[in-house]
Structure formats: structure tokens, C-alpha cells
Amino acid sequence: MFDSLKLTKIPEADESLRPAVKAFLAEQLAGLSAERRARSWMGHDPEFSRALAQKGWVGVTLPRDYGGAALGYFARFVIVEELLISGAPVAAHWISERQSGPLILHYGTEVQRQYYLPRICRGEAFFCIGMSEPDSGSDLASVKTRATRTDKGWTLNGAKLWSSYSTKATHMIALVRTSGAAGDRHEGLSQVIIDLKLPGVTTRPISDLSGDPHFSEVHFANVELGEDALVGKEGDGWNQVRAELAFERSGPERLYSSVVLFDLWLRYLRGAGINDDATAALVGSMTSRLAALRSLSISITGQLVRGERPETLAALLKDIGTEFEQAVPALVADHLASRPDEVADPDLLAALAYVAAMNPAFSLRGGTREILRGMIARGLGLR
């Protein structure tokens, strides 16, 4: 496991994208409040996503023939890092860019690629993920939503739950059963693309604890899907989902969900001249943790670039990364309240309120802590 973990540099060519991205974001986000920025990749703004797409920074890893920028994972790392530091509202295109686009490129037919990928890159097609269901969370292989063969394609019945921003998305890629029964586990699962405007699809928003209606419940009642709704091979859905999750787990977003809060806190400490020993030690230990995690993330990005599938390391990084993300609001809250006679800056307090409330989600979404630790244990040879 450690042999593959090599210190890796972001190549100069990719690093050189950074100033332009920084400048663009500074201009685009000038009026965005701290509280909105604190939402990190849960902030939703289709206008912003389209502006980013116009710069060519949506679908950066996709080939030019499909409207992409044909850049590598390191370039994507640089762009995503800047988006996250600045608290850009990326949720509208986030899933398409990170998961759905690469998935369609890899497993889709030529027709599917030609149709979906340019729309993703232009910020017109926004995808959401349909994995979880009312009775299937961590035990994803138990999904019951079913696509049944017809002469013209498939009929879909069932329900998906917790799909982020599906009320505002145009499409969903869902993991569904195409053969066998729930007891068959990993066999008989497939991934299908669903146009969310089709008859029989109903989407109900669900507010999260911060009040954002970001979650939703999606019901499918005899939804007629065409033959070309299937992505990849019928029955191969489980393998495809695993590969998809390896991408999802290794990016900087698994370290940076609280970075806007961290930076607002730093700005406050610097401005107020708070630099006693205890504060310095706290700032230093948090910086040190984050520095090591960033090196890990870049190292894993290097493995993706080399075409490896670092599943165990991606799970490892996500688990330790989310632990850090979750520690930030707790440490910042404690630090601020250790000085009960000082009132911190309102922007900082607003960001803290959001992240402190939302942070339990960081180790749930994309696979819970317990599931990830099981995967790491498997990688260590214990199961």
C-alpha cells in the first residue's frame, strides 16, 4: 500500500492555470457572502456553472471532440482547489463534472458521449446521483428500483432518496436492478441515465438541517426509458459504481469542505492580532494536518494519471480527510469561545454556524466512515 504512495508534484503546465482561475473567481464571486461561500460544494448556482463552462473549466478532463478541455487530473486538481478555496457555488455542475461525465466517457456508447458530454461541458446538462434508496444506504447492493426490459427499452419503477440537487438537475444516473432479486447482491445491477423531465418521474425536495432544500426524493412510476438509457454493460453496474466512487473519494473536496471557514478564521486572527502561543499552536497543527493531506491527495491524483485504480488509498484519504474537515468547526468554535469577552467577526460566525451544523454529513456522503474503514482493512489484508 505504501509503495504506491509517492510524493508527487503538480506539473508546471497544470500549475500555470492557477492565476487565470484565481482572477476569474475573484471577479465572479466578488459579492458572494461568507455564509454562501461556507457551503463549499453544496452551494448551487447554474449561472455561475455556465460562466465557468464558458471559460472551458467544466469537463476539463474530457476530450476536445466532446467539448472538453482535454486536460489531465492535475489540471482538474488545480481548478477544483481554487474553486473550493474561494467557496464557489459549484453544486449545479459538480456531479456531472466529477462523476457522470467521466463515467459516460468510459462506459458510454459513442452516441451517448456525443449527446451528453458537450452538454455537460457547456453547463446545460446537470446530473445527479441516484444510488441511495429508502431501504438502501450503506448496503447499496440491496437497491430495489428496477428497470424491466420492454420492446423499446426499459420500464423503471422505484424510488431514490437523498439525491443532492435532483430538483434542479436535468438527468440522473441511477443504480438499478435489471435482473435477479435484491438477494443476488452485486449481480444484476446496472446504471441507467434518466431524463428527469420524463413522464412518471416525480421529484420532491427535502430540506437539509441548514434549511437548504438540497436533498430530494425521486419516484419512478412506469417511466419509459429508451434502449440507450443503459450506460455500460447490463449487469456490470456494481463494478462501474466502484470505479466511479474511487474518483469521487480522492479529490480535494474531501479535505476542503471547511477550508472557507478556516480562512475566515485566519483572516479574523490576523486582523485582530490574536497570536498568543496557544493560538499559534492550534493554527500550526491544523495547517500541518492539511498540508500532509494535500500531499496525499496529489499523490493519489498522480496514480489516477498513471491509470491506476487507487481504491484503498482513496478510501483512506477520504476517511482521514473528512476527519480533518469535521475537526475544523469544533476547533474554531472552541478557540473563539475560549475568549468569551471578545466578539468575533459576523462573517466568521455565520460561516461557523453553517459548517458546525453540516459537518456530520462530511463523513456520511460518498460512503460512511465505518464503510470506508472496512475497505481500508480489506486493503490491509484483514478481510
Ligand X SMILES: Cc1cc2nc3c(=O)[nH]c(=O)nc-3n(C[C@H](O)[C@H](O)[C@H](O)COP(=O)(O)OP(=O)(O)OC[C@H]3O[C@@H](n4cnc5c(N)ncnc54)[C@H](O)[C@@H]3O)c2cc1C
* Chain residues in the site for ligand X (CB under 6 A): 128-132, 137-138, 162-164, 361, 364-365, 368, 370-371
CB 162 → ligand X: shortest distance, Å?
Answer: 4
CB 307 → ligand X: shortest distance, Å?
Answer: 27
Q: Please, which residue, 155 or 279, has the CB nearer to another protein?
A: 279
Q: Under rule CB under 8 A, which residues in 320-339 are in contact with another protein?
A: 320
Residue 5 interacts with another protein (CB under 8 A): yes or no: yes
Choose which of 279, 345, 357, 361 interacts with another protein (CB under 8 A).
279
Grouping H, G, I as helix, E, B as strand and the rest as coil, residue 96 is helix
Residue 284 interacts with another protein (CB under 8 A): yes or no: yes
Which residue, 169, 85, 86, is CA-closest to 123? 169
Rg (CA), the chain: 21
Which residue, 47, 99, 110, is CA-closest to 76? 99
CA distance linking residue 67 with residue 63, whole number of Å: 7
Q: Please, which residue, 106 or 365, has the CB nearer to ligand X?
A: 365
Q: Please, which residue, 89 or 130, has the CB nearer to ligand X?
A: 130
Q: Please, which residue, 183 or 273, has the CB nearer to another protein?
A: 273
Choose which of 310, 319, 351, 358 interacts with another protein (CB under 8 A).
319
* Residue 368 interacting partner from ligand X, another protein, none (CB closer than 5 to 8 Å by kind): ligand X
Q: Which H or E element spans position 360?
A: none
Residue 316 interacts with another protein (CB under 8 A): yes or no: yes
Residue 382 interacts with another protein (CB under 8 A): yes or no: yes
Q: Which residue has the cell 474553486?
A: 83
Question: 134: which 3 cell numbers?
Answer: 429508502
Which residue, 139, 225, 230, 134, is CA-closest to 182? 139
> What sign has the CA pseudo-torsion 38, 242, 314, 98?
negative
Only segment of 64-72, 111-119, 161-169, 371-379 that touches another protein (CB under 8 A): 371-379
Q: Please, which residue, 19 or 134, has the CB nearer to another protein?
A: 19
Which residue, 267, 259, 364, 378, is CA-closest to 318? 364
The residue of the chain with the least Cβ separation from ligand X equals 137
Q: Which long-range contacts (CB under 8 A, 24 or more apart) does 238-241 make?
A: 238/141, 238/186, 238/187, 238/189, 240/103, 240/107, 240/191, 241/131, 241/140, 241/175, 241/189, 241/191
Q: Binding residues for another protein, per CB under 8 A?
A: 1-2, 5-7, 9, 81, 85, 256, 259, 262-263, 266-267, 269-270, 275, 277, 279-296, 298-299, 313, 316, 319-320, 370, 372-374, 376-377, 379-383
